[in-house]
């Protein structure tokens, strides 16, 4: 396994995880992922920017060995999560002169999570730089992309940014670069939805730090390297700060088809009014796809029967997920069916306290939906039309 040169004195030493299908025991990875690591050789010193998931450390060592490296001076821990930093203890053991370089908060995390000894850690402040000789590593704090300790590494001489998780994608590929932007965009959006969307306010505040650098290349720690940084920066700008789109997400479950009939009527009622509503059956759902829909959605309409006196647990899960992901949606409602009663609407509302949502009147049918229930669904669609299109 060879290291792959990406620029003068900089090599990719990462690992492609073709077969991984779940991240954090939560996030589906239909396309696998990669853990990108980069070795930088200056005229005086060398550095490794991020490492790899511990399951892939043999690959990292094989690529480093292909460069005949006898020592590494710095191991940059941009982010303490184990998929990047989990093999740093092995690197420090193999290269006894190396120091792990991280932010102030990163120091505590790599000591707590990875048992890195304090005397092997060098803390850098926001904006601080390390001179490798004809190459500088500058560190920019960028908290909450994905954890609070995260920093980006910038090499000004070559205008390459190493932002760790930010701008990444869970996409296993033999191609190190973004050769097909149309293929990359869905993977990058899915990754943004699953990993970055909860932090969109922080990203929006800090995005100008990145554009101000005018990078020529962005080399994240998951997925392809961006030779056209504008492509991914523009996509992020839209995802974090663009207005919500004409899209209503309708996650639902139906046990005996009454709720399904209501959901299908709602989706058609929306289409009749020029609204795009996407129904999403939670019975066998790809939650990553649900997260992607939430990136642009104006509203969330949950469809659930009342079961055991409350929402169907899979709909409750969708509400909890939406609450955690903090999408831009501005309104929500509930439609569904019941046999005898329970607390459906109140329970679902209470599961989404993080979202600034206007709750529109719910539509609940006793048993099979009747004409009055369909009329109420039409009225809900009309209310939404006045919000999204025009009064």
| SS3 label, residue 179 | coil
Q: Is 382 exposed, middle or buried, given 0-12, 13-18 or 19+ CB atoms closer than 10 A?
A: middle
Residue 105 binds ligand FEO, judged by CB under 6 A: no
**Alpha-carbon distance 19 to 143, whole Å?**
30
Q: How far is the CB of 263 from ligand FEO (least distance, A)?
A: 35
| Residues binding ligand FEO: number (CB under 6 A) | 7
- Per CB under 6 A, the segment of 78-86, 125-133, 272-280, 336-344 that binds ligand FEO is 78-86
For residues 198 and 342, which CB has a smaller minimum distance to ligand FEO in the complex?
198
- Per CB under 6 A, the segment of 76-84, 249-257, 266-274, 315-323 that binds ligand FEO is 76-84
Q: Going by DSSP bridges, is the β-strand pair 151-155/136-141 parallel, antiparallel, or unpaired?
A: antiparallel
For residues 20 and 84, which CB has a smaller minimum distance to ligand FEO in the complex?
84
- Per CB under 6 A, the segment of 55-63, 81-89, 196-204, 375-383 that binds ligand FEO is 81-89
- Listed in sequence order, the residues at least 6 apart from 257 whose beta carbon sits closer than 8 Å to its beta carbon are none
Q: How far is the CB of 171 from ligand FEO (least distance, A)?
A: 13
Q: How far is the CB of 112 from ligand FEO (least distance, A)?
A: 16
Can you spell out the DSSP letters for 39-69? Answer: EEE-SS-EEEE----GGGHHHHHHHHHHTT-
User: With contact defined as beta carbons under 8 Å apart, do 30 and 288 qualify?
Assistant: yes
Quote the Cα angle for 14-17-23, to 5°.
110
For residues 48 and 307, which CB has a smaller minimum distance to ligand FEO in the complex?
48
For residues 222 and 312, which CB has a smaller minimum distance to ligand FEO in the complex?
222
Residue 84 binds ligand FEO, judged by CB under 6 A: yes
Side-chain-side CA neighbours of 7 within 13 Å: the count stands at 23
- Per CB under 6 A, the segment of 61-69, 75-83, 226-234, 255-263 that binds ligand FEO is 75-83
Q: How far is the CB of 90 from ligand FEO (least distance, A)?
A: 18
**Alpha-carbon distance 33 to 330, whole Å?**
32
**Alpha-carbon distance 153 to 218, whole Å?**
10
Residue 81 binds ligand FEO, judged by CB under 6 A: yes
For residues 189 and 260, which CB has a smaller minimum distance to ligand FEO in the complex?
189
Q: Is 285 exposed, middle or buried, given 0-12, 13-18 or 19+ CB atoms closer than 10 A?
A: middle
- Per CB under 6 A, the segment of 36-44, 55-63, 80-88, 210-218 that binds ligand FEO is 80-88
Q: How far is the CB of 88 from ligand FEO (least distance, A)?
A: 13
Residue 83 binds ligand FEO, judged by CB under 6 A: yes
For residues 113 and 389, which CB has a smaller minimum distance to ligand FEO in the complex?
113
**Alpha-carbon distance 216 to 285, whole Å?**
39
DSSP alpha helix (H) spans, the chain: 57-66, 82-85, 88-94, 104-114, 181-191, 200-213, 229-241, 258-272, 287-296, 313-325, 345-350, 371-388
List 79, 99, 190, 260, residue binding ligand FEO (CB under 6 A): 79
The owner of tokens 């020592």 is 71
Annotate each residue in 185-224 with x if it binds ligand FEO (CB under 6 A) or - if it does not, as one string: -------------------------------------x--
List 45, 105, 146, 227, residue binding ligand FEO (CB under 6 A): 146
User: With contact defined as beta carbons under 8 Å apart, do 98 and 88 qualify?
Assistant: no
- Per CB under 6 A, the segment of 77-85, 131-139, 172-180, 360-368 that binds ligand FEO is 77-85
Q: How far is the CB of 391 from ligand FEO (least distance, A)?
A: 43
| List of residues contacting ligand FEO (CB under 6 A) | 79, 81, 83-84, 146, 165, 222
């Amino acid at each position: 396994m060879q290291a792959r040169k990406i620029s003068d004195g900089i090599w990719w030493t990462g690992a492609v995880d073709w077969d991984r299908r779940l991240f954090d025991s939560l996030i589906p990875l239909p396309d696998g992922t990669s853990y990108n690591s980069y070795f930088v050789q200056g005229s005086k010193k060398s550095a490794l920017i991020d490492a790899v998931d511990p399951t892939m450390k043999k690959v990292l060592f094989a690529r480093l060995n292909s460069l005949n490296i006898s020592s590494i001076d710095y191991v940059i821990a941009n982010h303490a999560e184990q998929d990047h930093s989990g093999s740093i203890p092995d690197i420090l053991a193999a290269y006894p002169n190396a120091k792990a370089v991280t932010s102030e908060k990163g120091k505590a995390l790599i000591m707590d999570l990875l048992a890195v000894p304090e005397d092997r850690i060098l803390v850098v402040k926001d904006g601080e730089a390390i001179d490798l000789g004809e190459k500088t590593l500058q560190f920019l704090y960028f908290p909450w992309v994905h954890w609070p300790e995260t920093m980006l590494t910038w090499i000004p001489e070559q205008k390459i940014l190493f932002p760790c998780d930010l701008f990444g994608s869970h996409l296993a590929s033999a191609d190190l670069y973004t050769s097909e932007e149309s293929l990359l965009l869905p993977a990058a959006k899915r990754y943004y939805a699953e990993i970055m969307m909860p932090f969109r306010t922080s990203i929006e505040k800090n995005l100008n730090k990145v554009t101000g650098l005018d990078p020529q290349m962005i080399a994240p720690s998951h997925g392809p390297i961006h030779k056209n940084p504008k492509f991914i920066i523009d996509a992020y700008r839209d995802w974090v700060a663009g207005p919500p789109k004409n899209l209503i997400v309708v996650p639902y479950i139906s046990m005996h088809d009454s709720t399904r009939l209501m959901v299908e009527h709602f989706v058609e009622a929306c289409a009749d009014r020029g609204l795009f509503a996407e129904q999403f059956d939670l019975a066998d759902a790809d939650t990553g796809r649900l997260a992607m829909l939430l990136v642009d959605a104006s509203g969330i309409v949950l469809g659930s029967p009342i079961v055991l006196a409350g929402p169907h647990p899979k709909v409750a899960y969708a509400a909890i997920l939406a609450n955690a992901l903090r999408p831009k949606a501005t309104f929500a409602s509930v439609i569904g069916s019941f046999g005898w009663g329970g607390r459906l609407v109140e329970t679902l509302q209470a599961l989404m306290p993080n979202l600034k949502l206007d709750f529109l009147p719910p539509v609940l049918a006793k048993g099979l939906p009747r004409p009055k229930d369909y009329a109420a669904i039409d009225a809900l669609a009309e209310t939404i039309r006045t919000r999204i299109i025009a009064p």
